[in-house]
Structure 1
Amino acid sequence: MLAWFTPRRETWLFKVNPALKFIIFFAFLLITLFNQNLSFAVWQAVLYGILFYGFSGYSMKKLALLSIPLAISFFSSALTIVLFGKGESVLWQWGLIKISEESIQHALLLGSKSLSFGFVGFTFLLTIQPILFFYAMMQQFRLPSKYAYSFIASFRLIPAVTEELQIRRNALKVRNIQFSRGLKGMYERLQMYTVPLFAESIRRAQRIAVAMEAKQYQMGAARTYYYPTRYSLMDGIFLTVMAIGLGFALMLAFWR
C-alpha cells in the first residue's frame, strides 16, 4: 500500500522544507476558508490544481483516482446548495426545490473551496516524507519532541501492524476457522483478531519504551537529530512562486 504513494519523479516541491510547506499551505487554506469572492475562489482552485496535477510527481492514472473523491465532494456540495439554497432571483422552483442565481453562485463558491482544500491537502501529503516533516517541525518550529516522536512511532508501526494482521489472517485460514454469519460472525472475527493484536501491541510498546530508555531519552532535554532539516534556496523559490501565484489569482479575480 505504501508503495502506491511512491512518486514517479521528485519535483521541486519535494525539496521544500516540509514544515515551511505546511505553514504556507495552512495559511492558503485559511484564505480559502474566509474568502467570499467567487472569482477569487475559482482562480485559487485553478492555482492549486496546477500544483496538484503538474508538480506532485505522480502519474496521471493515480492523480485521476485521487480526483474521484474531489469530484464527488464538489458535485455533492454544489448540488445541495443549488437545489435547496436561498435567493431572491428565482430561476425555477418545484416544491422544496428552488434554484436561484444566488444559490448557483453560492454553490460554485462552496464547490471551488472544496476543490481547493482537496488539491492543497493531496499536494502536501504526496510531496512530503512524514518522518522528515516531524523532524522539521521539531527543528524549525520547536514542536515538543514528546508529540513529534509519538507521531513518528505511530507512523513507523503501521507496516508492522499491517503485517501482523496479515499473519493472523493467514493463520486462521490455514486452521480452516469458519465464522458464523451476521452479527455473530462479526463478533467472532473481532474476538479472534483484536485479542492477539492488542497483546502484540503491548509487547511492541514495551520494547519501544526500553529502547528509548536505553538511548537516555529525556522529555524536554536538548537533543541532536539523525535527520537535520534546514532552510534552503528552494524554500525561497517556493515562497516566491506561491506569492506570485496567489497575487496573479487575485489580480485575475478583480480584473475588469
Structure 2
Amino acid sequence: MLAWFTPERKTWLFQVNPALKFVVFFALLLITLFNQNFPFAVWQAVFYGMLFYLFSGYSIRKLALLSIPLLISFLSSALTLIMFGKGDTVLWQWYLIKISEESIQHGLLLGSKSLSFGFVGFTFLLTIQPVLFFYAMMQQFRMPSKYAYSFIASFRLIPAVTEELQIRRNALKVRNIQFSRGVKGVYERLQMYTVPLFAESIRRAQRIAVAMEAKQYQMGAARTYYYTTHYSRMDTVFVIVMITVIATALSLAFI
C-alpha cells in the first residue's frame, strides 16, 4: 500500500521545506474558503489542478484514480446546491427541485472550491515525506518533540498494523475458518479481526509510551535530530510561484 504512494519522479515541489509548504498551502486553503468570487474560484481550481497533475510526480493512472473522489465531490456539492439552492431568476422547477441562475452560480462556486481543496490537499500529501514533515515542524516552527514524535510513531505503526492484519488473515485461512453469510458473517469477521488487532495495538502503544518516557520526550529540552531540515533557495522559488498563481488568478478573474 505504501509503495503505491511512491512517485515516479521527484519534482521541484519535493525540494521545498515541508513545514513551509504546509503553511503556504494552508494559506491557499483559507483564501479558497473565504472567497466568494466565482471567476476567481474557477481560476484557482485551474491553477491548483495544473500543480497537481503536472508537478506531483505520479503517473497518469494514479492521478486519474485520485481524481475520482475529486470529481464525486465536485458533482455532489455543485448539483446539490444547483437543484435545491435559492434564487430569484428561476429557470426550471419541479416540486422540490428549483434551478435558478443564482443557484447555478453558487453551485459551481462551491464545486470549484471543492476541487481547489482536493487539488491542494492531494498535492501536499503526495509531495511530502511524513517523517521529514514533522522534523521540519520541530526545527523550523518549534513544535514540541513529544507531539511530533508521537505522530511519527503513529506513521511508523501503519506498516506494522498492515502486516499484522495480513498475518491474521493468513492464519484464519490456514485454519479453514468459514464465516456465515449476511450480518452474522460481518459480526464474526469483526470479532475475529478487531479483538486481536486491538489487543496488539494496545500492547504496542504501551511499549512506545514507555520508550518515549525513557528518552525523556516529556521534558521539552533542546534535542538533536537524526534528520536536519532547513530553508533553501527552492523555498523562495515556491513562495514566488504561489504568489504569482494567486495574483494571476485574481487578474484573470477581474478582466
- Place the TM-score, normalised by the shorter chain, in its bin: over 0.9
User: What's the counterpart of residue 48 of structure 1?
Assistant: 48
User: What's the counterpart of residue 142 of structure 1?
Assistant: 142
Supply the distance in 2 between the matched residues of 1:218 and 1:84 (Cα, whole angstroms): 52
| 1:35-71 CA distance string (max 9 Å, x none) | 0000100010111011000100011111111111111
Which consecutive residues of structure 2, in runs of 5 or more, have no partner in the other structure? none
The structural deviation recorded for 1:91 is 1.3
Structure 1 residue matching 2:98: 3-state secondary structure: strand
Contact between 1:145 and 1:219, CA under 8 Å: does it hold in 2? no
The structural deviation recorded for 1:252 is 0.6
User: What's the counterpart of residue 80 of structure 2?
Assistant: 80
The structural deviation recorded for 1:195 is 2.7
- Counterparts of residues 218-237 of structure 1 (less than 5 Å): 218-237=218-237
| 1:208-256 CA distance string (max 9 Å, x none) | 244435545443121111011110000000000110111011001011x
Letter in 1 for 2:228: P
Supply the distance in 2 between the matched residues of 1:144 and 1:164 (Cα, whole angstroms): 31
The structural deviation recorded for 1:203 is 3.0
- Counterparts of residues 51-200 of structure 1 (less than 5 Å): 51-200=51-200
Supply the distance in 2 between the matched residues of 1:111 and 1:209 (Cα, whole angstroms): 43
The structural deviation recorded for 1:196 is 2.1
Q: 1:95 to 1:140 in 2, by over 3 A?
A: same
Structure 1 residue matching 2:222: 3-state secondary structure: coil
The structural deviation recorded for 1:202 is 3.1
User: What's the counterpart of residue 10 of structure 2?
Assistant: 10
Supply the distance in 1 between the matched residues of 2:86 and 2:218 (Cα, whole angstroms): 58
Supply the distance in 2 between the matched residues of 1:186 and 1:81 (Cα, whole angstroms): 36
Contact between 2:78 and 2:111, CA under 8 Å: does it hold in 1? yes
Q: 1:76 to 1:205 in 2, by over 3 A?
A: closer
Deviates more, 1:139-148 or 1:230-239: 139-148
Supply the distance in 2 between the matched residues of 1:197 and 1:85 (Cα, whole angstroms): 46
Supply the distance in 2 between the matched residues of 1:101 and 1:206 (Cα, whole angstroms): 58
The structural deviation recorded for 1:207 is 3.2
User: What's the counterpart of residue 238 of structure 1?
Assistant: 238
Number of matched residues? 255
Letter in 2 for 1:38: F
Supply the distance in 2 between the matched residues of 1:207 and 1:96 (Cα, whole angstroms): 57
TM-score normalised over the length of structure 1: 0.95
TM-score normalised over the length of structure 2: 0.96
Letter in 2 for 1:20: L
Supply the distance in 2 between the matched residues of 1:206 and 1:109 (Cα, whole angstroms): 47
| 1:118-155 CA distance string (max 9 Å, x none) | 00000000000000001111111111112111111010
Q: 1:178 to 1:232 in 2, by over 3 A?
A: same
The structural deviation recorded for 1:200 is 2.1
| 1:155-182 CA distance string (max 9 Å, x none) | 0000001101110110111011122233
RMSD: 1.4
Supply the distance in 2 between the matched residues of 1:149 and 1:139 (Cα, whole angstroms): 13
Letter in 1 for 2:137: M
Structure 2 residue matching 1:99: 3-state secondary structure: strand
Supply the distance in 2 between the matched residues of 1:162 and 1:214 (Cα, whole angstroms): 27
Which consecutive residues of structure 1, in runs of 5 or more, have no partner in the other structure? none
